[in-house]
Amino acid sequence: MKARIITRQKLCPDIFWYEISAPHVACRFQAGQFVIIQVHERGERIPLTVAEAHPERGTIVLVFQVVGKTTLELSLLKEGEEIENCVGPLGNPSEINFFGQVICVGGGTGIACLLPIVRALSAAGNEVISLIGSRSRDYLILEDKIKAVSSSLFIATDDGTRGERGLVTDVLERILEEEEVRGKIQRVIAIGPPLMMRKVAEITRPHRIKTIVSLNTIMVDGTGMCGSCRVFLGKAMKLACIDGPEFDAHRVNFDDVISRLEMFRAKERLAWAVYRQQLEARQMEIKTKVRAKEGTASHD
């Protein structure tokens, strides 16, 4: 189903906020679910988490980072233009219950994926301690929105330009040792780069705290047919699109998740380079035409 871009905002140098019309998703969405979009007819299908849903307006919000060809194509669309296809909501919703005290950890665009979960956990009466991090202040997204739905918020940036200097996982490690929270945290939910999620799992394991991660595996159909999103929980194989995307972090084989994400790196780099060359060639062509027009106009 086509989806029109209603609002387009650049949150930071390469992260965008798109509110798009998708009434079929907005009315059924639950925290933790995602959509699969196709920018144009011949485009690759990519999964993006729904960061907000507005059933009354028939819209959803997608927050994405430009990391390759398809996300670059998406970022070049303007308000009023259409995304060729938007399918969803897909995946299992997050488990939202009253747990008591929970910690939500978000890194990079994972902060946007975490937003509806933090909101739903708070609405269910939990005390939600949110920890968000990015490489620097310029890349930190949605701080105010996360703050508005959290009981408390901790921020870390790699270079210390916002919040504490260091990794968000350093903050988690420290908090879990603090007197007021030690032994009280019922659940940790982490969404971000795989290395961050693996570290969160390592930190919470000795504390025996149930820890959930949302896995950003490669996906193609999103319906359990192609097998490209397989992950291993111990020896059991699962499909992130229909069994996930959230899994018990202490059982996930992160080495396998990370190596599978690397598998298509060479092809992805090539697709990105070719597409950028085509874009530059098109821009040159337009400039040449404009100059030629200006030239003939000045001779008239």
Look at phi and psi of residue 139 and say left if phi exceeds 0, alpha if psi is from -120 to 50, else beta.
alpha
3-state secondary structure of 210: strand
CB of 107 to ligand FES, least distance (A): 23
Q: Residue 96: name its binding partner from ligand FES, ligand FAD, none (Cβ under 5 to 8 Å by kind).
A: none
Q: Which of 239, 249, 252, 257 binds ligand FES (CB under 6 A)?
A: 239
Q: Which does 226 bind (CB under 5 to 8 A by kind): ligand FAD, ligand FES, none?
A: ligand FES
Residue selected from 175, 190, 241, 249 as contacting ligand FES according to rule CB under 6 A? 241
Window 87-146: residues binding ligand FAD (CB under 6 A) = 109, 112-113
Which of 71, 169, 204, 211 is in the footprint of ligand FAD by CB under 6 A? 71
Question: Binders of ligand FES among 242-261, rule CB under 6 A?
Answer: none
Cα distance between residue 84 and residue 292, in whole Å: 34
How many whole angstroms separate alpha carbon 297 and alpha carbon 207? 75
Secondary structure class of 198 (helix, strand, coil)? helix
Q: Are 3 and 37 in contact (CB under 8 A)?
A: yes
Element (H, E) at 287: helix 265-299
Window 204-223: residues binding ligand FES (CB under 6 A) = 219-222
Q: Which residues bind ligand FAD (CB under 6 A)?
A: 34, 44, 46-49, 63-65, 67-71, 109, 112-113, 216-219, 245, 261, 268, 272
Q: Which residues bind ligand FES (CB under 6 A)?
A: 219-222, 224-229, 239, 241
